[in-house]
Amino acid sequence: MVFDADIINILIATVAVLNTLYGLIVFSRNRKNTTNQSFFFLSLAVSSWGIAMLFLRGAHDPDLAVWGARALYATAALIPFASVYFARLFPEEKRFLSFFEKNIVPLPFITILIITLLPYGGLIEDVTLTQGAEPSISFNFLLHSVYILFIVGYFSWVYVILFSKLLKTKGILRIQLTYILIGTLATTATGVVTNLLLPYFNIFTFNWVGQIGVLAMITFILYSILKHHLFSVSVIATEIFVVVLELTLFTQIFIAQTLQERLLATGIFFGSFVIGILLIRSVIREVEARTEVEKLAKKLQDANVKLKELDKLKSQFLSIASHDLRAPLSSIRNFMSLLLEDTYGKLPPAAEEGVRQVFGRATEMAQMVDDYLNVSRIEQGSMKYDFAPADLVKLVSESVEGMKANAEQKHLDLSFYVPSGIQKIPIKADVGRLREVFNNLIDNSIKYTPKGSIKVFIEGGESTARVVIQDTGVGITEETKKNLFKLFSPGQFSRKINPSSTGVGLYVVKKHVEAHGGNVWVESAGEGKGSRFYVEFPITLTPGEATVHKFANDL
């Protein structure tokens, strides 16, 4: 057998290589994908049909030509058989074959394969070789008719499947099916005429056209991918580069003048073929990884939106629940206050102590409710501040005086220091909110100071005023300081001393101070070494007051 490098053989070989390469490219995208597997099977069937035609056209011995004809019609029967599976499985990513697909669909094909390859009494009876003409094949008339019915029947089945899917789908999938139908219809129409009907009437002049006509199917599928961006542009660009390179190297095999050059060109072709497939797979993996990251980012974005919605619902719940709790707590506190003031008569000592404890707990709960309401308003952006001229010295002094009773109950020394000569520090503030700030900070120092003292003093300069609350309490670790002013972050050590701590108070303090253009922070040498809370505000001075209100940085 001699391979003649005429234009027809070169075209058939080129299309066979191109079709195999495209099948490998699709298969390498995801080898476990059912559609990819079925398409690869189909591409191999079409390529083997082209190779069988090359074998027949290159045969110069009648016996070899007969086997070439048998191989040609056996591989041709494989195409509609493979097409049925592709049509049934497309576009499934993972699907197992049914009993019908495994055991019934192959039976007609196996029958056709047997009668095609039978050496005696089969489909092919003889082949006539004529110089300058296509091989002429003699058929068993009855078996040839059965063969044609099989080809037409299976291809008709393929189009029934594809058209039924086309009617049920929308969007990109519908576009894919449309182009696949156009390409395969063109290929089938060409092949049926040139490779079935004309040979039926002993016309073999165009028996090779079908092997080249399959290029239409590849072209339309490629067009659908490029036109509608069904795959990544970078992957497509890599595939086109590899295909062009392989076709160029494949052509070099036929252009080579000597056997040595032809062998070298063949080796280079197969080597670059393997490298090209590996390159495409590498690009596909990179694209898939990027796609996965994009999916995760989208999921994270969706989760973030849901979290914001939940956070909003939480704030609304806090607002409603806190508002509903205020009324009964106010009633309890008012009634307990009346009892403690002997409005209903003198209480026995034991009863008075019990009422005092109830009053204290109700007061704590009322403060917690106010904190939750503040959190809700802050997070919803509905917190309102009534800024007006105020005196920082007076504000802090009143808070200290109001907390002295609590300090005395724990036998703590609570004192307030103002630099000499300072009577007033003017600031613009919401007096009620700042009173909450100082009450909260001083109350915390009392709670977390088992023994010793708490000093509150003011320091600063011409443009800022700084209030410092210093205690000899339990101190704060570096780890706790990082989250101290965050919502619901009281710290584990704080919970041991004050189980009712919610981690809300200091969060509200920070937001109130920041709303006044100030800053709040804490310093501590560590656990058991006390702490210093700093609250800094801008002060408002007239030019005439500037020299009057200077005060020392240290006491």
Confidence at residue 266, expressed as pLDDT on a 0 to 100 scale: 85
**pLDDT reading at 19 higher than 90:** no
Q: How far apart are CA 50 and CA 11, in angstroms?
A: 10
pLDDT band at 246 (very low <50, low <70, confident <90, very high): confident
pLDDT band at 341 (very low <50, low <70, confident <90, very high): confident
Q: Which two tokens stand for residue 117?
A: 């390859």
Q: Among the listed ranges 115-129, 199-213, 276-290, 332-346, which one has the minimum average pLDDT value?
A: 276-290
Residue 506's domain comprises 388-545
Confidence at residue 222, expressed as pLDDT on a 0 to 100 scale: 59
Say if residue 188 is in the same domain as residue 308: no
Do residues 150 and 112 touch, judged by C-beta distance below 8 A? yes
Of the residues 228, 260, 288, which one is the last residue of a structural domain?
228
Residue 123, classed as helix, strand or coil, is coil
Q: Among the listed ranges 236-245, 283-292, 350-359, 540-549, which one has the minimum average pLDDT value?
A: 540-549
**Sheet bearing 519-523, strands edge to edge:** 413-417, 453-460, 464-471, 531-538, 519-523
**pLDDT reading at 31 higher than 50:** yes
**Interval 47-92: pLDDT, tens:** 999 999 999 988 888 899 999 999 999 999 999 999 999 889 888 8
**pLDDT reading at 417 higher than 80:** yes
Calculate mean pLDDT across residues 292-311.
84
Say if residue 469 is in the same domain as residue 498: yes
Do residues 49 and 70 touch, judged by C-beta distance below 8 A? no
pLDDT band at 334 (very low <50, low <70, confident <90, very high): confident
Calculate mean pLDDT across residues 493-517.
76
Say if residue 327 is in the same domain as residue 200: no
Q: Among the listed ranges 152-161, 297-306, 320-329, which one has the minimum average pLDDT value?
A: 320-329
SS3 per-residue string spanning 468-498: EEEECCCCCCHHHHHHCCCCCCCCHHHHHHC
Confidence at residue 228, expressed as pLDDT on a 0 to 100 scale: 47
Say if residue 345 is in the same domain as residue 394: no
Burial bucket for residue 303 (CB in 10 Å: 0-12, 13-18, 19+): exposed
> Percentage of the chain with pLDDT > 90?
27
Burial bucket for residue 305 (CB in 10 Å: 0-12, 13-18, 19+): exposed
Is 221 within a domain?
A: yes
Say if residue 404 is in the same domain as residue 352: no
Burial bucket for residue 119 (CB in 10 Å: 0-12, 13-18, 19+): exposed
Calculate mean pLDDT across residues 176-205.
86
Is 235 within a domain?
A: no
**pLDDT reading at 554 higher than 70:** no
Global model pTM greater than 0.75? no
**pLDDT reading at 544 higher than 70:** no
Runs of H (alpha helix) within 59-140: 62-89, 99, 106-117
More confident site: 382 or 180: 180
Say if residue 413 is in the same domain as residue 438: yes
Burial bucket for residue 195 (CB in 10 Å: 0-12, 13-18, 19+): buried
pLDDT band at 353 (very low <50, low <70, confident <90, very high): confident
Q: How far apart are CA 535 and CA 467, in angstroms?
A: 5
Residue 365, classed as helix, strand or coil, is helix
Say if residue 328 is in the same domain as residue 419: no
Of the residues 380, 408, 435, which one is the last residue of a structural domain?
380
Helix, strand, coil distribution of the chain in percent, nearest 5: 65, 10, 25
Burial bucket for residue 524 (CB in 10 Å: 0-12, 13-18, 19+): buried
**pLDDT reading at 495 higher than 60:** no
Q: Among the listed ranges 114-123, 179-188, 437-446, which one has the minimum average pLDDT value?
A: 179-188
pLDDT band at 496 (very low <50, low <70, confident <90, very high): low
Say if strands 388-391 and 426-429 run parallel, antiparallel, or are unpaired: antiparallel
Is 265 within a domain?
A: no
Q: How far apart are CA 234 and CA 238, in angstroms?
A: 6
Calculate mean pLDDT across residues 101-105.
91
**Interval 119-151: pLDDT, tens:** 888 999 999 988 888 999 999 999 999 999 999
Cα-only R_g, the chain: 45
Q: How far apart are CA 70 and CA 310, in angstroms?
A: 71
Confidence at residue 322, expressed as pLDDT on a 0 to 100 scale: 58
Is 86 within a domain?
A: yes
More confident site: 110 or 176: 110
Say if strands 531-538 and 464-471 run parallel, antiparallel, or are unpaired: antiparallel
Burial bucket for residue 396 (CB in 10 Å: 0-12, 13-18, 19+): buried
More confident site: 365 or 513: 513
Strand partners, 531: 471
Calculate mean pLDDT across residues 380-409.
87
Is 234 within a domain?
A: no
Say if residue 92 is in the same domain as residue 203: yes
For residue 185, the domain's CATH number is 1.20.1070.10
Do residues 467 and 396 touch, judged by C-beta distance below 8 A? yes
Say if residue 63 is in the same domain as residue 188: yes
**Number of domains observed in the structure of the chain:** 3
Strand partners, 466: 459, 536
Do residues 116 and 67 touch, judged by C-beta distance below 8 A? no
For residue 334, the domain's CATH number is 1.10.287
Closest CA to 55 of 41, 65, 42, 40: 65
Do residues 422 and 455 touch, judged by C-beta distance below 8 A? no
Range list of β-strands (E), 343-500: 388-391, 413-417, 426-429, 453-460, 464-471
Is 467 within a domain?
A: yes
| Structural element, H or E, at residue 521 | strand 519-523
Confidence at residue 149, expressed as pLDDT on a 0 to 100 scale: 94
More confident site: 99 or 352: 99
**pLDDT reading at 522 higher than 80:** yes
DSSP string, 223-270: HHHHHHT-S-HHHHHHHHHHHHHHHHHHHHHHH-SSHHHHHHHHHHHH
Say if residue 393 is in the same domain as residue 504: yes
Is 263 within a domain?
A: no
Confidence at residue 146, expressed as pLDDT on a 0 to 100 scale: 94
Of the residues 330, 348, 380, which one is the last residue of a structural domain?
380
Confidence at residue 112, expressed as pLDDT on a 0 to 100 scale: 95
Residue 118, classed as helix, strand or coil, is coil
Residues whose CB falls within 8 Å of the CB of residue 125, separated by 6 or more in sequence, listed in order:
138, 139, 140
Confidence at residue 323, expressed as pLDDT on a 0 to 100 scale: 61
Is 258 within a domain?
A: no
Say if residue 449 is in the same domain as residue 428: yes
Say if strands 413-417 and 453-460 run parallel, antiparallel, or are unpaired: parallel
Q: Which two tokens stand for residue 246?
A: 């392989």
Say if residue 62 is in the same domain as residue 112: yes
